Structure 1
Amino acid sequence: MKLGFIGTGVITEAIVTGLIAAEYPAAEIIVSERSREVSTRLAAASGRVRVTSDNQQIADQADVVFLAVLPQVAEQVLRPIRFRNRQKVVSLIATLTHDRLHSWIGDGVEITRAIPLPAVAERRGVTVLYPASGQISGLFSCLGTAVTADSIAEFDAYASASALMGTYFGVLETATGWLCAQGCGEQDAQAYLTGVFLGLARRAEQDTGRSFSELRVAHSTPGGLNEQMYGEFTGAGGTSALTAALDSVAARLLAAKPPSCPDEEL
């Protein structure tokens, strides 16, 4: 089996890096030249990676084609490419619906939408898919965890939550700045907070029988500092702001749907 990637950026590099590490049984991984820095790095990482400047060649030779171009240039890049009937296509372009993609690349292709996160490079990522595809789910399971959404509404909800990455680091950035203002060194502050949050993530990973709500209570002694911190955070509108941000991202995804097919169920 051959895999092809049209668009070679951060996510393509993460997926291909993970597949190489997992020794995924692909005879060849064909990646587009752009970006040249990333494609050159991937070709140097494995003899199974081949770089081409011809996107049509990728569609012609790959059994599964991953679309990883920026949404603002997607139509320009994808419309000229001819895909085979029933060819498997995996779209990594979060804001493009099945209907819009089909209008550009043809109704005969089998499209799976996916949202892989950068940790797939270390085979510790989580990827949400829609609709169900055993082959694509198996591929992403080699890179961590694959979750298949039951509906497009569920997929869009996961897509909205995937936009929390920058917020996560923004919270750490804010806490680091506060520690530095108290006289801590920036490097030490960042190392400390990294350790704290890594430990909490591992606890959640190990203790899957408890909800996040239960874990929050378990980590908040009544009358203690953690309880005070969360109370201040919620009282100042922290959780409301987070919910509003999720709603805003979800609204942007909904606005990207063709008016005639808002539900886009398959």
Structure 2
Amino acid sequence: MRLGFIGTGTITAHMVRGLKASALADWPIVLSARNEAVAAALALLPGVTVAARNQAVVEACDLLILAVRPQVAKAVIGRLVIPPSRPVISLIAGLHIATVADWTGAQDICRAIPLPFVERHQGVTPVFPPQPAAMQIFAALGTALPVDDLAAYDAYAAASALMGSYFGLLETAAGWMVAQGHSAPDAAQYLRGLFGSLGDVLREKPVSFEQLREDHSTKGGLNEMIFYRFVQGGGSDAMQAALTAAFRRVQG
């Protein structure tokens, strides 16, 4: 199957590199030249070419992937003419399927939320609705999660926005350690090792998050104390409020 990408930003780069190291490596890929530097670098991979125009990408592919920023989506994809039978995967946050269909004429459309980890064939990608071709692609890039309900899909999109907060927590902890006299490299090395290992625990132990928290919190100990201070200080409420705000935003 020939894949076409409109938009050559970070996620497109991760997907293309992941696909070229997957069971679908022999599938040809044609890119738009929207980001010339990224497109040129990806074109060094076998079977990857760059089209002169966006419409040429549409005409050269069997499946089209829309990966442009929401702010410019209408200006970019609103000019495309997509055959109704052409499968389309939209990675554009907050853009509803009906809108994509109205702007382009496409009819076989799904939405997906791939994250950078697809390059390493890790992570879980929600697909709504579970279009067969999209499920095949994201299964090759890790785990494809079929979603039949729009509200559930939007909740996955909101939860995916926790990545910045995760690293922000580490940024805060590192800053605190430096204030206590540690060097920045030493603080970073310690926290990378700690949280990297906790990521391994998440993958290896499929138990509830509550159970994991209790397993890593001695009764009356420091882990328990910091978590309860976090909750009592409004941390949990602030996180839920932020997720709700993200959920409403992705709902459009």
User: Which band: TM-score by shorter chain?
Assistant: over 0.9
Q: Any idea what the Cα deviations from partners look like across 1:63-112, whole Å, max 9, x if unmatched?
A: 11100111111111112211112110000001100111111011x52111
Q: Any idea what the Cα deviations from partners look like across 1:159-216, whole Å, max 9, x if unmatched?
A: 00011111111111101101111111111211211111111111111111x1001111
Tell me the equivalent position of 1:2.
2
Counterpart amino acid of 1:185? S
Tell me the equivalent position of 1:263.
none
Q: Is the 8 A contact 1:113 1:130 kept in 2?
A: yes
> 171, 193, 196: which is aligned to 1:195?
193
- Mapped to 2, the partners of 1:27 and 1:17 lie a distance apart of 12
Q: Any idea what the Cα deviations from partners look like across 1:16-39, whole Å, max 9, x if unmatched?
A: 010011141443100111211111
Instruction: Quote how far apart the aligned CAs of 1:124 are.
Output: 1.2
Q: Any idea what the Cα deviations from partners look like across 1:112-164, whole Å, max 9, x if unmatched?
A: 10000011111113211100122211211111111112300000000000111
Note the 1:224-235 alignment, pairs <5 A: 224-235=221-232
- Mapped to 1, the partners of 2:62 and 2:237 lie a distance apart of 45
Counterpart amino acid of 1:216? R
Q: Is the 8 A contact 1:161 1:246 kept in 2?
A: yes
- Mapped to 2, the partners of 1:185 and 1:21 lie a distance apart of 38
Tell me the equivalent position of 1:215.
212
> 109, 112, 124: which is aligned to 2:110?
112
> Runs (4+) of structure 1 moved beyond 2 Å?
none
- Mapped to 2, the partners of 1:139 and 1:117 lie a distance apart of 14
- Mapped to 1, the partners of 2:136 and 2:46 lie a distance apart of 23
- List alignment gaps of at least 5 residues for structure 1: 257-266
Q: Is the 8 A contact 2:23 2:140 kept in 1?
A: no
SS at match of 2:113: strand
Tell me the equivalent position of 1:35.
35
Counterpart amino acid of 2:144? A
SS at match of 2:49: strand
Counterpart amino acid of 2:40? T
- Mapped to 2, the partners of 1:117 and 1:82 lie a distance apart of 28
Q: Is the 8 A contact 2:129 2:147 kept in 1?
A: yes
SS at match of 1:127: strand
Tell me the equivalent position of 2:182.
184
Q: Is the 8 A contact 2:20 2:26 kept in 1?
A: no
Is 1:156 the counterpart of 2:154? The answer is: yes
SS at match of 2:164: helix
Note the 1:102-181 alignment, pairs <5 A: 102-106=101-105, 108-181=106-179
Aligned-CA RMSD value: 1.2
Number of residue pairs the alignment of both structures matches? 252
- Mapped to 2, the partners of 1:27 and 1:145 lie a distance apart of 19
Same amino acid, percent of matched pairs: 43
- Mapped to 2, the partners of 1:138 and 1:80 lie a distance apart of 28
Counterpart amino acid of 2:31? V
- Mapped to 2, the partners of 1:22 and 1:102 lie a distance apart of 30
Note the 1:44-63 alignment, pairs <5 A: 44=44, 46-63=45-62
Is 1:245 the counterpart of 2:237? The answer is: no
Is 1:100 the counterpart of 2:99? The answer is: yes
TM-score by length of 1: 0.92
SS at match of 2:21: helix
Q: Is the 8 A contact 1:90 1:113 kept in 2?
A: yes
Q: Is the 8 A contact 1:60 1:84 kept in 2?
A: no
- Mapped to 1, the partners of 2:70 and 2:235 lie a distance apart of 31
- List alignment gaps of at least 5 residues for structure 2: none
Is 1:14 the counterpart of 2:8? The answer is: no
- Mapped to 2, the partners of 1:53 and 1:23 lie a distance apart of 28
Q: Is the 8 A contact 1:120 1:144 kept in 2?
A: yes
Tell me the equivalent position of 1:85.
84
